[in-house]
Amino acid sequence: MEKSIIDFFYLICIVLFIIGLKRLSSPDTAKKGNIIAGIGMGLAILVALFQPLEGGANNYLWIVGGLILGGVIGYIAAIRVKMTAMPEMVSLFNGLGGACSMLIATVEFYNLEPGTAMMSTEVLTIIFALFVGSIAFTGSIVAWGKLDGFLRDSLVLPAPQILNLVLLLTVIGLSAYIMYLPEINYTLVWILLIVSMVYGVTFVTPIGGGDMPVVISLLNSFTGIAAAGAGLIYGNQVMIVGGIIVGAAGTILTVLMCNAMNRSLFNVVIGGFGAAGQSSGSDREQVAKEISLSDTAIQLKYSNKVMIVPGYGLAVAQAQHTCHDLEKALEAEGVDVRYAIHPVAGRMPGHMNVLLAEADVPYPKLLELEEANEQMPSTDMVLVIGANDVVNPAAKEDQGSPIYGMPILDVELAKTVIVLKRSMRPGYAGIENPLFFGDKTKMLFGDAKDSLSKLKAEVANA
Amino acid sequence: MDYILHFITSNIEMLYILVFAVFLGMEVISKVPTVLHTPLMSGANAISGVVVIGAIILIRSAEADSYIKLTVGMLGIALATVNVIGGFAVTDRMLHMFKKKKK
């Protein structure tokens, strides 16, 4: 085929990638966007198979073998994986893409013509693809292991920040030295490869807990950048542009994720050290997971049954009307909404009933303690609004707890618990609430009234 | 210094492409709801498997008897293809779950 036709087809692939990504960022068009990007990829692979190349024996058998092998494994892995294991799957896939860049860069070192000037853009590009690809590879594998659970979060490196700095400086120094030497030194190339892979491990190891999605997103952008680096080696536009777009999009996505958790990227990458240091002191890690408003809204909307557990915080925020508005918005979406009223919720018996009656919440929607607990297992989502001690499992589990023996609302029997709270401060009784660190629990920080009105708006609009 | 200037003038088109691609990538997803973060990440991840093109070119330009390159290249293709096919399939599954529950 003509070179210009090839270039034109590559251009179409790039356009398909961009349209696909754009569609993926809106709920209504996301599914189509994914398919469009997939078509772009299929076309790109076809074009790559037929683009004219100088020299070489084409070796189509090897290519088709690799494509079939990878395609079958990828497809089976993708359809077999449980929905809950999605993040680690994505991380693993991502690592494999990085590994491919790494392999390409390694081979390209051996493809350098004898006598190639080492101080050249070409060599720099290969080193770049090698380094970034290696980090993306080993980093993603560590992230995968952590999410999957076969690597523990508690794995602590000695002085990780210094170790990382030393490794990074080693990589830069080695790269500079490789380029400074008149001829290629393969021993140094292999050392560079190994140090880069180790750096990927030490980069991700200190980060853990709720920060993992952010790290995966960051590694994802690394893979994109590595792909672009490999594209520069071959001067292949679709790899360069596709890779860079993913790199940039991944970086922005990483920042957005950090914003959603109210943290800075720097804090996530560096903050891991503090968390690792603390966890060595206590025997169990207490990390409360945060959730964003829009996530909460979507989850609420797609639930069949939602139980609201109001507490004193609802009263303080004067949020009963807003709460009723949210309930109506959810009912309009076909969600069954109930209120679970604990006898001592608020500061006086019946406090909540009064409050909610004031807001015109229909009386049959208010459930007493026993009835509410009976319905918990069939509840998709519990929304704890400003309640604390009445949902504290310590009352059942911890004999040393001052509230031990108090009947509580068994919110942990429901599928998900979202706690709306101003801060992590303990409740009226002044005791820690293990519920906040439970597996099913997510925290939505902020003023109850403010959060509820935003949730209502999200539910109504989304 | 001369080296850098030479680099810039000889690669100016490439640099334009890089700069525009960075801005495009940032713009194209700047307004994404949180709930789509994971599918979007997964979809972008599948696109980063575009590196498979590099592995294909690598194998095609290799001689028929350079078995090490061919093996490494094939491994590269297989890994990147897992990334591509798995990535798109997983994203599709996620988005599917998403739609179905609405009722």
Determine the pLDDT at residue A253: 85
Determine the pLDDT at residue A281: 32
Return the HEC string of B54-103. Answer: HHHHHHHCCCCCCHHHHHHHHHHHHHHHHHHHHHHHHHHHHHHHHHHCCC
Task: Assign residue A51 a region (left: φ > 0; alpha: ψ between -120 and 50; beta: otherwise).
Answer: beta
Above pLDDT 90, what percent of chain A? 38
Confidence of residue A425 (pLDDT cuts 50, 70, 90): low
Q: What is the pLDDT of residues A286-345, one digit of tens each?
A: 677 888 888 888 888 888 999 999 887 787 777 888 999 999 889 888 899 999 987 767
Q: Are A356 and A339 in contact (CB under 8 A)?
A: yes
* B82 contacts on A by Cβ (under 8 Å): 70-71, 73-74, 77, 93, 96
DSSP state of A174: H
The residue ranges of DSSP E strands in A245-310, in sequence order, are 305-310
Q: Decide if A56 touches B, using CB distance below 8 A.
A: yes
Does residue A261 carry a pLDDT above 80? no
Does residue A235 carry a pLDDT above 70? yes
Please answer yes or no on whether A244 and B74 come within 8 Å at the CB atom: no
* Residue A336: active-site member: no
Size of interface A-B (CB pairs under 8 A): 360
Does residue B103 carry a pLDDT above 50? no
Q: What is the pLDDT of residues A87-116, one digit of tens each?
A: 788 899 999 999 999 999 999 999 988 877
Q: What is the pLDDT of residues A144-193, one digit of tens each?
A: 988 777 887 667 777 778 888 999 999 999 999 999 988 888 999 999 99
Determine the pLDDT at residue A309: 92
**Which ipTM value was assigned to this complex?**
0.91
- In this complex, the residue of A59, A96, A244 whose CB is nearest that of residue B59 is A59
Q: What is the pLDDT of residues B1-23, one digit of tens each?
A: 777 788 788 888 888 988 999 99
DSSP string, A44-71: HHHHHHHS--SSS---HHHHHHHHHHHH
Determine the pLDDT at residue A350: 57
Distance set, CA A26 to CA A33, A242, A456, B34 (Å): 9, 20, 20, 10
Of the listed ranges A199-203, A242-246, A285-289, the one predicted with least confidence: A285-289
* B87 contacts on A by Cβ (under 8 Å): 74, 78, 90, 93
Q: Which of A63-72, A148-157, A277-286, A447-456 has the highest mean pLDDT?
A: A63-72
Give me A173's structure tokens: 């120094």
* B31 contacts on A by Cβ (under 8 Å): 25
- CB-neighbour burial class of residue A12 (10 A; exposed 0-12, middle 13-18, buried 19+): middle
Q: Decide if A240 touches B, using CB distance below 8 A.
A: yes
Average pLDDT of the segment spanning A111-139: 90
Determine the pLDDT at residue A363: 75
Confidence of residue B102 (pLDDT cuts 50, 70, 90): very low
- The mean pLDDT value of chain B amounts to 85
Q: What is the pLDDT of residues A364-393, one digit of tens each?
A: 888 888 888 989 999 999 999 988 878 888
CA distance A101 to A227: 6
B23 → chain A, closest CA residue: A248
SS3 A260: helix
Determine the pLDDT at residue A36: 96
Does residue A455 carry a pLDDT above 80? yes
Does residue A442 carry a pLDDT above 80? yes
